[in-house]
DNA sequence: ACTCCCGGGACTGCCCGTTCAT
DNA sequence: ATGAACGGGCAGTCCCGGGAGT
């Protein structure tokens, strides 16, 4: 098993180095030499684990996808209410984005690939789907107005978050990301939540980070 | 003068071809050969007009910036109310995005450059600034609640639009962009507008495109 | 005629800038852009005066040749003795080399062209020829031993000077060139001069520079 | 080990082809395509062995340096007298120059690099140093006059040889190089050697080549 | 007569993503 | 998993013309 352990270690090192580079320079702007150099690995090793550059990018995206889904699963397990889950998901995702270059690389690659052929929309679709499910649950729980259409709103929330995160990155290197997410909920909550519960969920948003 | 005319023609052809390529493949994913080939121009011509690839990208961004600012100026000249201007700006910008590859390329490049050194945030800043100014005017005009902070909200609107546009591109090739912008205003207007005017501005949004 | 004056000025500026660049970077290492930039001239102007890069190099060489021949002519006119002329020629040439980039460029180009096809050996041949003539005169004047063969020795003196100048350039940036020429004559004079006159010509060499 | 053998073969082929080109066209005048084409090697192979054109030039210079030092070492081991070593070194070096393009390229590059930044004077310094050491030994052996200053004279001998070789190349394609070295010693020996031994060392010079 | 604008392409050094024998 | 090589493509820049302008 020592063999496999070492192989796994190498694989992880490559993914990590690749993510760092993809995050910084994008797919086309990253060279495999950059990656092998900073991972301390030879080209041969890289090509043993990944058949091509695209394959490697796909590996990074999958890893990011797994991490995002882990957030969702945890929220489901914690049994929090639907709307609370939507809100917390956004903050926790933001936190991943700041802390984890694999997550950053994953979303950057997903966005870039949108321009290519055979788009890799799975990660996005899953994220939107999870948000939609949480929203549906929130309607059942009488937290969100019944007139809200969960699919449309889920798409908007994910979109808005994506934009917020991008602009935060461009303008402040993501240093003010959390505050911008606060801003987002401030503006969006009133359209979703039944009036008397707005204050409650405002504080959920406000404390989402503090609690962590 | 025939000389200068031809030069200008060449320059425009290069910018156009460059924009098309940058929009599709991003900065790093585009080669100058792609550009010269599809512009029907030689390297010598390109090199005469633009000192480097980066220079060319900057040219595209500037051109896009000019077009966006033209929208703003027109709205100012038309003397529409502040909030109407904000709303219309988003629809008209969306329209540019769908119709004009120079605009698409400009915003893609601006986003990508955020990851690089010496970021080119001017186009974004201008856009945010214009939105902020329109919002301030809207407050004076008693369309927008006085508690709204124009700078923060302007940043969010621009961010949300950016995300909406990106996700629309990834998921539908921007075919449903207008509808997604509808969605955005549907959710955001209630937090901005004084209650009794919501229906009015809803219809402004709804007719913004139809009117064009 | 104002026209021609300006043309001549341009021509000279080009030659000077070209010489500076050729001296520093060699023929192949110099680009015409380097030259036009530092001469403050456009490509068009350069191509009006010189049909090609090689033509320009030839122009520099000719100019250098003229300057070297001017030294020879002056020595002839001054009516100094043959051997004194040989010695002084070396010092004066060394001085040109230090002070005048056209001269430096000329000899560098001549040496480099030796490797090319259609070699431009005229400048070298003239220099050698002049030295040979002075040596023959020196024999007639009983300063140089009759056993000396003027052609062979002339070739050696020119060769040795060339080497001395090159090594001085490589090792000290030509700062110690004069001293190295002293060294050269110190070692060569005894083989040329009739014994009793050695001290005299030693002092000629020693004072050759001081006198200037 | 077969792997490394093949690599070494490739490396040598590249160096050889590079030397041939550098010798003929100089550093700037040589293109890597010239080299790969005549070495029968791809760009990739060249890039694997040498990180840049300059690196390759450095490789050629080092190889030439090694060959020159081999001459010196052999003379030391043979235990010939100091002055004989100086003389033979010049003839053997001349022979290398005629026969071996790596040696020719090495000295051409060294001379050209003198004009550049970070000059590579080591090969020259080593050669001068070796000559100086032999001269010092020759003084101890009472072959060379004690008034001779070994360092100065060593520099001149190397310079003169350099010039002789260059002029021979320009004027005759180095066909008369040996004869020109004869000439050099004919003129220089009298200033170095104690009078009664001049005939002896004249014949050393005369037979230096014949003996090989 | 002299100078410049604008461009033509070939080519440069470099480096890329990939393969294959070991 | 490595070392060695492949071959095409990259951005940049070269030397050089033609036609307009002065």
Residue A164 · residue B159 · CB < 8 Å: yes
Confidence of residue C29 (pLDDT cuts 50, 70, 90): very high
Chain A residues whose CB is inside 8 A of the B126 CB are none
pLDDT > 90? residue B106: yes
D150 contact partners, CB below 8 Å, separation of at least 6:
D132, D133, D135, D136, D139
**Predicted local distance difference test score (pLDDT) of residue D1:** 42
Identify whether the C-beta of residue C152 lies closer than 8 Å to the C-beta of residue D183.
yes
Instruction: With a cut of 60, say whether residue C119 has pLDDT above it.
Output: no
Mean pLDDT of B9-24: 95
Check residues 125 to 184 of chain D and report those whose beta carbon is under 7 Å from nucleic acid strand E.
none
Whether C191 has a pLDDT exceeding 50, the answer reads yes
- Look at residues D88, D64, D95 and name the one whose alpha carbon lies nearest to residue D74: D88
- Reply yes or no on whether the pLDDT at B211 is more than 80: no
What integer pLDDT is reported at residue D118 of this predicted model? 64
Instruction: Report the length, in residues, of chain A.
Output: 212
B88 Cα distance to chain centroid: 13
| Phi and psi torsions of B199, nearest 5° | -55, -40
Quick check: A24 and B24 in contact, CB under 8 A? no
List of A residues 16-75 with CB within 7 A of strand E? 30-34, 43-44, 47, 51-54
Tens digits of per-residue pLDDT, A115-160?
A: 565 656 678 889 999 999 999 999 999 999 999 999 999 999 999 9
pLDDT class for D210, splitting at 50, 70, 90?
low
Are D170 and C26 an interchain contact pair (Cβ–Cβ within 8 Å)? no
Contact A183 B152 (CB under 8 A): yes
- Pick the residue with more confidence: D122 or D39? D39
* pLDDT tens-digit readout, D143-154: 999 999 999 999
Three state DSSP letters for B16-68: HHHHHHHHHHCCCCCCHHHHHHHHCCCHHHHHHHCCCHHHHHHHHHHHHHHHH
Task: Assess whether pLDDT exceeds 80 at residue D185.
Answer: yes
Contacts of D119 in chain C (CB under 8 A): 170
CA D67 – CA D103 distance, rounded (Å): 8
CB A47 under 7 Å to nucleic chain F: yes
Share of chain B above pLDDT 70, in %: 93
Q: How far apart are CA D80 and CA A102, in angstroms?
A: 70
Q: How far is A6 from chain B (nearest CA, A)?
A: 33
> Which pLDDT score, from 0 to 100, does residue A1 have?
44
- Between CA D112 and CA B50 the distance in angstroms is 34
Instruction: Say yes or no to pLDDT of D2 above 80.
Output: no
Three-point CA angle A139, A143, A146, nearest 5°: 40
The C-alpha atoms of residue D14 and residue D17 are separated, in whole angstroms, by 5
Give D41-70 pLDDT, tens digit per residue. Answer: 999 999 999 999 999 999 999 999 999 999
- The one-character DSSP state at B143 is S
The pLDDT value recorded for residue A121 is: 60
In chain D, the percentage of residues whose pLDDT exceeds 70 is 92
The residue whose CA lies nearest the C1' of nucleotide E4 is C44
**Using the CA of D54, which nucleotide's C1' is the nearest one?**
E13
Instruction: Please give the average per-residue pLDDT across C20-24, as a whole number.
Output: 94
Distance B8 CA to E6 C1' (A): 11
CA dist., res. C89 & res. D156, Å (int): 19
Compute the distance between CA of residue B127 and CA of residue D93 in angstroms, rounded to an integer: 73
Task: Write out the two tokens for D106.
Answer: 């090495």
Give the residue ranges of DSSP H helices in D26-149.
32-39, 43-49, 53-78, 82-99, 101-113, 122-140
The CA-CA-CA angle for residues B56, B59, B61, to 5°, reads: 115
* pLDDT interval class at D120 (50, 70, 90): low
List chain A residues with CB under 8 Å of B32.
none
What's the rounded mean pLDDT across residues C138-158?
97
Q: What is the pLDDT of residue A211?
A: 56
What DSSP string describes chain A? Answer: -HHHHHHHHHHHHHHHHHHHHHHHHTTTT--HHHHHHHHT--HHHHHHH-SSHHHHHHHHHHHHHHHHHHHHHHHHHHT--HHHHHHHHHHHHHHHHHH-HHHHHHHHHHHHHTTSSS---HHHHHHHHHHHHHHHHHHHTTSB-TTS-HHHHHHHHHHHHHHHHHHHHHHHTTTTHHHHHHHHHHHHHHHHB-GGGHHHHHHHHHHHHHT-
Residues A176, D13: Cα–Cα separation, whole Å:
58
Shortest alpha-carbon distance between residue A173 and chain B (Å): 8
Whether A181 has a pLDDT exceeding 80, the answer reads yes
Query: Are A160 and B164 in contact (CB < 8 Å)?
Result: yes
At D79, is the secondary structure helix, strand, or coil?
A: coil
Share of chain B above pLDDT 90, in %: 82
CB-based contacts of C72, cutoff 8 Å, min separation 6: C89, C126, C130
Give C-chain residues touching D152 at CB under 8 angstroms: 183
Work out the pLDDT band at D190, boundaries 50, 70, 90: very high
Radius of gyration of chain A (CA): 19
Q: Which residue is nearest to nucleotide E16 (CA to C1')?
A: A31
Rounded mean pLDDT, A182-195: 95
If you ran DSSP here, which 8-state letter would residue D116 be given? Answer: S
Residues 33-52 in C having a C-beta less than 7 A from any atom of strand F are 33-34, 43-44, 47, 51-52
Closest to A179 measured CA to CA, from A193, A199, A165: A165
Average pLDDT, chain B: 92
At B71, list the tokens: 């929208």
| C74 has pLDDT over 60 | yes
Q: What is the pLDDT of residues D165-184, one digit of tens each?
A: 999 998 888 999 999 999 99
Shortest alpha-carbon distance between residue A77 and chain B (Å): 29
* End-to-end Cα, chain D, rounded Å: 37
Which H, E and C letters describe C16-79, residue by residue? HHHHHHHHHHHHHHCCHHHHHHHHCCCHHHHHHHCCCHHHHHHHHHHHHHHHHHHHHHHHHHHC
What is the pLDDT at residue B32?
A: 96
B151 touches chain A (CB under 8 A): no
pLDDT at B1: 46
């Amino acid at each position: 098993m020592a063999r496999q352990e070492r192989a796994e270690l190498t694989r992880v090192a490559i993914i990590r180095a690749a993510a760092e580079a993809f995050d910084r320079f994008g797919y086309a702007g990253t060279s495999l030499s950059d990656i092998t150099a900073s991972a301390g690995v030879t080209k041969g090793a890289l090509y043993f684990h990944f058949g091509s550059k695209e394959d490697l990018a796909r590996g990074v995206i999958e890893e990011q996808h797994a991490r995002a889904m882990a957030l969702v699963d945890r929220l489901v397990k914690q049994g929090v209410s639907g709307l609370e889950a939507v809100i917390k998901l956004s903050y926790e995702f933001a936190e991943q984005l700041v802390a984890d270059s694999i997550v950053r690389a994953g979303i950057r690659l997903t966005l870039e690939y949108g321009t290519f052929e055979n788009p890799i929309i799975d990660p996005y679709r899953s994220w939107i789907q999870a948000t939609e499910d949480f929203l549906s649950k929130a309607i059942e729980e009488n937290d969100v107005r019944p007139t809200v259409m969960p699919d449309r709103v889920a798409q908007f929330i994910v979109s808005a978050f994506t934009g917020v995160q991008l602009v935060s990155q461009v303008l402040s290197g993501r240093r003010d990301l959390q505050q911008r997410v606060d801003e987002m909920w401030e503006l969006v909550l009133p359209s979703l939540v039944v009036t008397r519960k707005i204050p409650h969920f405002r504080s959920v948003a406000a404390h989402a980070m503090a609690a962590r």
